[in-house]
């Protein structure tokens, strides 16, 4: 059984400020250390649950955050850019875990909320439904026939996940009340919870179904600043007075995602 863990940073236990997620900040190494803690707890849970292959995709920013020396060597670690591919080496994957996720851009009171880029995008809609990273990533995985079996993060991400993936277990490691305001579980407690919930989810992975996406799929994007996508073919502007909002339909979401974002 092959389990794929896509790890982001904002929803990791103990991560609580911009400094923890931005490479040039003094708090960043601490954030990466926290990430290794949650990742290793999740890997442990995968093997306890019966996995015989575990892949960790280092998925925050440039994709190079984890120090390989700190990651459980039983898992394979994928780092760096994989252009046009959300889940490198996804072939044969039985189930996906979204670890350390965060709420979509604009979520009130949510820790480090954003959707893919806090500088570039204000809103994304998938087939007309406002979407954060949990929904889009679940939808791209579904295109490969892979279900999400667990998500971890804060209470705001939990509420978002409950709407998108109502039957998928959520491992809440912290609660938040602002962009840089949160209360985290103690590391030891959080790691025990991640391991236990991961093992449980992996054991019953066959009960989960891939997220349902209807095709042709439409991705609508609202940029934060001026539109930079005028040159793209097939792009429509639903509001002729606002060139920052544009959309396109296609038969492949993953391709569309990398074309538009
Ligand atoms: Zn991130």
Average pLDDT score, the chain: 96
19 CA to centre of ligand 1 in angstroms: 12
CA distances for 67 relative to 22, 43, 45, 82, 122, angstroms = 15, 15, 20, 18, 31
Is pLDDT of 17 > 80?
A: yes
86 CA to centre of ligand 1 in angstroms: 14
- Hey, CA dihedral for 172, 175, 113, 158, is it positive or negative? positive
111 CA to centre of ligand 1 in angstroms: 12
Where do the domains of the chain lie?
Answer: 2-112+132-207
Two structure tokens written together for 220: 């609508």
103 CA to centre of ligand 1 in angstroms: 11
* Residue 232 burial (C-beta neighbours within 10 Å; 0-12, 13-18, 19+): exposed
116 CA to centre of ligand 1 in angstroms: 7
240 CA to centre of ligand 1 in angstroms: 32
Is pLDDT of 261 > 80?
A: yes
Closest C-alpha among 161, 109, 110 to residue 131: 161
Domain 2-112+132-207 has CATH 3.40.50.970: no
182 CA to centre of ligand 1 in angstroms: 16
136 CA to centre of ligand 1 in angstroms: 14
Is pLDDT of 228 > 80?
A: no
**Neighbouring C-alpha atoms within 13 Å toward the C-beta of 110:** 23
Number of neighbours of residue 259 by Cβ within 10 angstroms: 17
Written as one string, the DSSP assignment of 160-224 is HHHHHSTTS-EEEEEEEEETTEEEEPPHHHHHHHHHHHHHHHHHTGGG--PPP--SSEEEEEEES
Q: How far apart are CA 163 and CA 123, in angstroms?
A: 17
153 CA to centre of ligand 1 in angstroms: 11
Q: What is the mean pLDDT of residues 35-53?
A: 98
Q: How far apart are CA 178 and CA 86, in angstroms?
A: 29
Q: What is the mean pLDDT of residues 179-186?
A: 96
59 CA to centre of ligand 1 in angstroms: 7
Is pLDDT of 227 > 80?
A: no
Per-residue pLDDT band for 119 (boundaries 50, 70, 90) equals confident
State pTM to two decimals: 0.97
57 CA to centre of ligand 1 in angstroms: 12
241 CA to centre of ligand 1 in angstroms: 32
Instruction: Identify the helix (H) or strand (E) that includes residue 121.
Output: strand 121-126
Q: State the pairing for strand pair 121-126/129-130.
A: antiparallel
Model confidence over 133-145: pLDDT tens digits? 999 999 999 999 9
225 CA to centre of ligand 1 in angstroms: 20
Residues having C-beta closer than 5 Å to ion ligand 1: 8-10, 60
What is residue 233's predicted lDDT score, i.e. its pLDDT?
86
192 CA to centre of ligand 1 in angstroms: 23
């Amino acid at each position: 059984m092959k389990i794929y863990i896509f790890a982001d940073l904002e929803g990791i236990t103990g991560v609580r400020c911009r400094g923890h997620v931005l490479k040039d900040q003094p708090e960043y190494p601490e954030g990466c250390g926290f990430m290794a803690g949650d990742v290793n707890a999740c890997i442990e849970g995968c093997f306890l649950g019966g996995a015989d292959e575990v892949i960790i995709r280092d998925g925050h920013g440039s994709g190079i955050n984890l120090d390989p020396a700190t990651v459980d060597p039983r898992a394979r670690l994928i780092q760096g850019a994989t252009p046009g591919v959300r889940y490198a080496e996804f072939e044969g994957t039985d189930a996906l875990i979204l670890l350390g996720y965060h709420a979509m851009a604009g979520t009130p009171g949510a820790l480090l909320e954003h959707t893919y880029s806090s500088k570039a995008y204000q809103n994304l809609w998938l087939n007309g439904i406002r979407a954060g990273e949990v929904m889009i990533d679940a939808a791209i995985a579904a295109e490969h026939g892979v279900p999400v079996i667990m998500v971890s993060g804060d209470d705001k991400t939990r509420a978002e996940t409950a709407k998108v993936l109502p039957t998928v277990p959520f491992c809440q490691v912290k609660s938040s009340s602002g962009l840089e305001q949160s209360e985290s579980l103690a590391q030891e407690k959080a790691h025990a919870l991640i391991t236990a919930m991961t093992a449980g989810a992996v054991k019953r992975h066959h009960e989960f179904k891939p997220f349902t996406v209807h095709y042709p799929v439409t991705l609508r994007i609202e940029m934060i600043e001026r539109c930079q996508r005028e040159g793209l073919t097939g792009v429509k502007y639903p509001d002729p007075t606002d060139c920052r909002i544009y959309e396109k339909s296609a038969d492949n979401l993953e391709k569309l995602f990398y074309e538009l974002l």
